[in-house]
Structure 1
Amino acid sequence: MPFSSLNSEHIVETLERLAARVRERFPEASLNNVILELIELGKRDRRRSERLARPYFFLRSGTILAVLLAITALVLVGRGLFNWVDVDGTQADIYTVFEGVEAGLNIVILTAVAIFTLTRVEERLKRSLALDDLHELRSIAHVIDMHQLTKDPIALLRLGPRTTASPHREMSDFELTRYLDYCAEALSMAGKIAALYAQSSRDPVVIASVNDIESLTANMSAKIWQKITIVRDTNEGVPAPAT
């Protein structure tokens, strides 16, 4: 079902088109380097999310081996109990039977512990790799947000004189709108890369981290679109909202 899940290749292709658009419009902007870094993360995370979706066969093999050993041990214990019965039908003493039952229960308990441990090891390994990558995506989202932080549309109104500490602004209204739009797109794509992990994982910790990143990038994009709206309203003669 190609339309029911995110396609990692299309995400990378969209990022590469975004990088080309930014490079053509703002060839000297440092935002180019940030988006190139995001592309590299997208390519790497695509491979990792696909790998995390696959089972760790060496750990699964250990689980299967533990089950087979437990079954073999239970069979041996059962045969031992059967052999403790005399050929004339006389039952073994009660203590012997209890010893056999206790041995069987110990085998079952140890097998359950081994299966649980091996399953948890696989879960922890996958979780650790996913959280490391998601931490990088969260960091680059903040870097993208920093690049648009000084792009203040209120400066277009020229409400007062510049100071020596005022950021240098030379973008036109159109360029400022495009720059902000590119930042919003980059944040959205960072959220989509994070969503690849939620798509390939059932770990609640990983899914919660993905949801946090998506909420973070959505809130940042909303603030950027507020700026874009101010620029458009200013061009149309609508009074800018108070800030």
Structure 2
Amino acid sequence: MPDRAETSPVSRFQRLDHAAVRRSAANLQRRVEARFPGRSLWEVGAELVALIDEVGSNEGDSRRRVRAARVASRVGMALVLLFFGGAIGLAATEIAASPDSLTVLDWLPLIETIINDVVFGGIAVFFLYTVPERMERARVLRMLHRLRSLAHVIDMHQLTKVPERLHQGSRDDGGLGLTRDEFTIYLHQCSEMLSLGGKTAALFGEETTDGEILDAVGGIETLTSDMARKVWQKIALIPADENHG
């Protein structure tokens, strides 16, 4: 009797919803732009939304190249099978035409030819079959690299925002140009954007079992979690009294 867990459909609560991640990122980007229009953090949020759109899109040059490579690889596999199948068929026909006239020494090169055709044909078919997979892996890894860079850009936006600069005046005077509440909200939004970066990485792992991709996804999730943790530590250091110090 088959395992019930293997035959039951996957619940929508067991998968990360691309639309929900995209909606959360877009809402965050709008909130950042509305609250801090003079700072470029909202532009980073727009880049994150664009990357999420790219994850869920079936269009784009990279996608089209992968689809074209998949079609070409299937055609190539058919031609390889036809060629080597024809070679094996000719060898078998030669054997069937005069089985009594062939000695043991005559059989050896024919058998060797058949084995070589099967081996090299199998290698060629395997290579052609994995071409689209390798292209898809390279495409996803390029996007994950962009996401990793984006996480570092988000981290740079909060890196110099320290509580000690909160009461030093305007940005021209070396201060943050933010009130205590604005500073807290800004750090919260950086943390939220980092978290959404981790969720974006997780979207790549929904449809693949490729170990290299899953390792890259796990690395980005760990990176964004560590960065967000540092932001929360900074939030905890914000003085309760804005007029303090």
Separation of aligned partners in 1, 2:78 and 2:232: 54
One-letter amino acid of the structure 2 residue matched with residue 137 of structure 1 = L
In structure 1, the gaps of 5 or more residues are 237-243
The runs of 4+ residues in structure 1 deviating greater than 4 Å are 48-55
Partners of 1:166 and 1:133 lie apart in 2 by: 39
- SS of the residue aligned with 2:161? coil
Alignment-mate amino acid for residue 24 of structure 1: A
Q: Does 1:194 align with 2:201?
A: yes
Which one is further off, 213-222 or 118-127?
Answer: 118-127
**Pairwise CA distance, 1:224:** 0.4
* Distance change (3 Å), C-alpha of 1:63 and 1:132: same
Structure 2: gaps (5+ residues) = 1-9
Report the identity percentage. Answer: 34
Q: What amino acid is the match of 1:129? A: R
Q: How does 1:1-243 map to 2 (within 5 A)?
A: 1=10, 2-47=12-57, 56-85=70-99, 90=100, 92-156=102-166, 167-231=174-238, 234-235=239-240
Shift of 1:93: 1.0
Shift of 1:49: 10
Cα distance change, pair 192–65 in 1 and its aligned pair in 2 (3 A) = farther
- The TM-score normalised by the length of structure 1 is 0.81
Quick one: higher RCO (CA 8 Å, sep 6+), 1 or 2? 1
Q: Which moved more, 1:97-106 or 1:19-28?
A: 19-28
| Amino acid corresponding to residue 102 of structure 2 in structure 1 | A
Aligned length: 227
Task: Confirm or deny: 8 A CA contact 2:204 2:217 kept in the other structure.
Answer: yes
| Alpha-carbon contact 1:49-1:196 (below 8 Å) kept | no
Show CA shifts across 1:92-148 (max 9, x none): 211221121111011101111202221342232112211211111111111110111
TM-score, normalised relative to structure 2: 0.80
| Distance in 2 (alpha carbons) for counterparts of 1:4 and 1:61 | 37
**Contact map agreement 1:18 1:182 (CA 8 A) in 2:** yes
Q: Distance in 1 between matches of 2:218 and 2:124?
A: 33
